């Protein structure tokens, strides 16, 4: 049980706290996270996971993972496995893993009970007729001609549906509530459909499958869920959720609470749209580093702790809104700043040659080794040796033959610091036949070893570098937003219209030798460039997780 002062403050916590204080359901708290195993989890699901598991943990209760597997057409075991693994990666351990399909028999028995009570009936209308009969907003529906069948006839037909005697789409079981109800969900909702499709767990055992509304609340009740937390689109389903439990006379019935979905700028969080990006080959797969799936974010280098903190701290409300992706990025940066090792890498290389660099007795250039802190924020991470010679790689951006105003980096005649090494002054350039600078010539000051001049003179710029003969090659994937628009699809109704065609650029660069020790998934800070995640599969491929500049702070300042 978390200290009340350390708990988030929101309407869900208020409701749960009140129940616990009043000793409802013996003060027990049990939640569930109920994904449909038809795709990979995304950042929106992370929000639901943090709420579901967080509430349970904060009140000393438990949270169960329930796979909501009532749609056999779209569900697969491989999705189940990925969901279980991704929840664990995010840092949560379900108290149990359950499946709605575990309850198919109980749900069936309960459906018979509703038929016996006269509050459910078999309807022979097809889907189109049922849909037309439901009416619309402000327009009452009409009763099905089959609504007043006898209990005996309904029972017989329902049993024959279950026995597989009828064709798909020929009959459904419906709850008998009120075709004129102001809430469309209450207009005799469908409870069962005939589907002659094999299920990934129950195989061919069932030719009928329960609908979401019939499966969900009853599964909650079977498991002993106390607080069923879901997103706002289910608000209008709540009266139905309660109605079913009332009809079944469930004691201590679970209660449903709805909160706003998490949406992010420049991001889509709909499985259907994400699936389309994969199908169309816009991205490499569900785990592409540009995808907002947990697998994508992980490959990109987002720490699970940053995602958890963000989801917890953006708050849980009942108002839909879009959070800035820059806010999430600032949680990522904050986390990585303390955890990641610093390395030097050059991603747009330009050769820098020190013309006064000494050679040894054999005529070979001297090699100096500088001892550099792995992470100045964490002395316990130790230091490493970084080699330095007279032939170096620097960033193309760090040199201008003709410097524009306020450009303080290297240019002919200008002195700068090579971080932790020496002061250097550019003297000349070497050009190719097209007139492009391919090499910068410079002299170094031997009296500035370690990056500080003996006479105390100052320079305006410090640049990173890599010793060319020691450099290891790397590939870096540089990312821009996958969608150019803040609210993808807002203008045209189709999010994919706002795709950024240049969301990834892969460059070849050079890094200091220590980078080869980076382990798959490890995120390192390339000095001055940003945080980069070591690919999970490909050696020496690095994904730019996020840049160093806190754009979120700038946005907040701008907005006052």
Rounded (10°) CA dihedral 413, 419, 423, 425: -20
Where along the sequence are the contacts to ligand ATP (CB under 6 A)?
A: 34-36, 44-45, 47-48, 230-231, 261-262, 269-271
Is 36 part of the annotated catalytic residue set?
yes
* Phi then psi dihedrals of residue 376, to 5 deg: -60, -25
What is the nearest approach in angstroms of ligand ATP to the Cβ of residue 534?
Answer: 29
Catalytic residue from among 134, 261, 312, 334: 261
The CB-side HSE value for 177 (13 A sphere, CA atoms) comes to: 26
Distances in Å between the alpha carbon of 344 and those of 106, 255, 464, 527?
A: 61, 54, 6, 5
Residue placing its CB nearer to ligand ATP in the complex, 47 or 227: 47
Is 351 part of the annotated catalytic residue set?
no
What's the CA gap between 498 and 392, in Å, rounded? 41
Catalytic residue from among 271, 298, 308, 481: 271
Phi and psi based region of residue 117 (left: phi greater than 0; alpha: psi -120 to 50; beta: remaining): alpha
Catalytic residue from among 17, 24, 36, 134: 36
User: Any residues with CB less than 8 A from the CB of 293 and at least 6 apart, and which?
Assistant: 40, 41, 42, 43, 274, 286, 287
Residue placing its CB nearer to ligand ATP in the complex, 159 or 322: 322
What is the nearest approach in angstroms of ligand ATP to the Cβ of residue 550?
Answer: 25
What is the nearest approach in angstroms of ligand ATP to the Cβ of residue 86?
Answer: 12
What is the nearest approach in angstroms of ligand ATP to the Cβ of residue 262?
Answer: 4
Is 261 part of the annotated catalytic residue set?
yes
What is the nearest approach in angstroms of ligand ATP to the Cβ of residue 203?
Answer: 22
What's the CA gap between 273 and 271, in Å, rounded? 6
| Cβ neighbour number for residue 251 with a 10 Å cutoff | 8
What is the nearest approach in angstroms of ligand ATP to the Cβ of residue 181?
Answer: 24
SS (H, E, C) 364-420: CECCEEEEEECCCCCHHHCEEEEEECCEEEEEHHHECCCCCCCCCCECCCCEEEECC
Confirm if 325 and 538 have CB atoms less than 8 A apart: no
SS (H, E, C) 476-516: EEEECCCECCCCCCCCCCCHHHHECCCCEEEEEEEECHHHH
CA–centroid distance for 261 within its chain = 13
What's the CA gap between 241 and 226, in Å, rounded? 13
Radius of gyration for the alpha carbons in the chain, expressed in angstroms and rounded: 31
SS (H, E, C) 430-446: EECCCCCEEEEEEEECH
* Phi then psi dihedrals of residue 477, to 5 deg: -95, 115
What is the nearest approach in angstroms of ligand ATP to the Cβ of residue 270?
Answer: 5
What is the nearest approach in angstroms of ligand ATP to the Cβ of residue 83?
Answer: 8
Catalytic residues: 36, 261, 271
């Amino acid at each position: 049980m978390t200290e009340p002062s350390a708990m988030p403050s929101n309407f869900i916590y208020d409701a749960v706290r009140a129940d616990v204080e009043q000793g409802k359901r013996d003060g027990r708290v049990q939640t569930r996270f109920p994904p449909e195993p038809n795709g990979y989890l995304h950042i929106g699901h992370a929000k639901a996971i943090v709420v579901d598991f967080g509430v349970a943990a904060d009140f000393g209760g438990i949270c169960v993972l329930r796979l909501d597997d009532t749609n056999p057409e779209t569900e697969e075991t491989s999705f189940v496995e990925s969901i279980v693994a991704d929840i664990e990666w995010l840092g949560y351990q379900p108290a149990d893993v359950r499946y709605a399909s575990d309850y198919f028999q109980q749900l069936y028995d309960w459906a018979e009970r509703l038929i016996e009570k006269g509050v459910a009936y078999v309807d022979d209308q097809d889907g189109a007729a049922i849909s037309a009969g439901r009416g619309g907003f402000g327009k009452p529906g009409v009763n099905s001609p089959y609504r007043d069948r006898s209990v005996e006839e309904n029972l017989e037909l329902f049993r024959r549906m279950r026995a597989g005697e009828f064709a798909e789409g020929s009959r459904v079981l419906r709850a008998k509530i009120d075709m004129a109800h102001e809430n469309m969900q209450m207009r005799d909702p469908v409870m069962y459909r005939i589907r002659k499709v094999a299920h990934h767990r129950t195989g061919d055992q069932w030719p009928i499958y329960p609908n979401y509304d019939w499966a969900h609340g009853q599964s909650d009740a079977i498991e002993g869920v106390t607080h069923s937390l879901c997103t706002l689109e289910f608000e209008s389903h709540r009266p139905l959720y309660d109605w079913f439990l009332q009809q079944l006379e469930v004691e201590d019935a679970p209660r449903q609470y709805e909160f706003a979905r998490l949406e992010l700028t420049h991001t889509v969080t709909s499985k259907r749209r994400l699936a389309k990006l994969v199908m169309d080959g816009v991205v490499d797969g569900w785990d592409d580093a540009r995808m907002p799936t947990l697998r994508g974010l992980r490959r990109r280098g987002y720490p699970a702790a940053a995602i958890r903190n963000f989801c917890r701290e953006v708050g849980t409300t009942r108002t839909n809104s879009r959070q800035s992706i820059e806010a999430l990025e600032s949680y990522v940066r904050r986390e990585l700043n303390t955890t990641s090792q610093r390395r030097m890498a050059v991603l747009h290389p330009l050769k820098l040659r020190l013309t006064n660099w000494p050679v040894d007795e054999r005529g070979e250039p001297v090699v100096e080794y500088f001892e550099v802190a792995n992470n100045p924020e964490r002395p316990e991470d130790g230091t490493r040796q970084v080699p330095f010679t007279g032939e170096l790689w620097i960033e193309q951006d760090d040199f201008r033959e003709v410097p524009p105003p306020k450009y303080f980096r290297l240019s002919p005649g200008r002195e700068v610091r090579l971080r932790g090494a020496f002061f250097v002054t550019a003297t000349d350039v070497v050009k190719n036949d097209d007139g492009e600078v391919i090499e910068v010539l410079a002299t170094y000051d031997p009296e500035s070893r370690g990056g500080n001049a003996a006479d105390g003179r100052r320079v305006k710029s410090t640049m990173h570098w890599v010793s060319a003969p020691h450099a290891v090659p790397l590939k870096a994937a540089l990312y821009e937003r996958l969608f150019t628009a803040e609210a993808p699809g807002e203008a045209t109704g189709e999010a994919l219209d706002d795709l950024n065609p240049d969301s990834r650029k892969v460059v070849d660069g050079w890094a200091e030798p220590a980078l080869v020790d980076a382990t798959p998934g490890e995120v390192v800070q390339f000095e001055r460039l940003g945080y980069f995640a070591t690919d999970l599969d490909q050696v020496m491929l690095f994904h730019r997780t996020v840049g160093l500049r806190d754009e979120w702070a700038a946005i907040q300042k701008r907005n006052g």
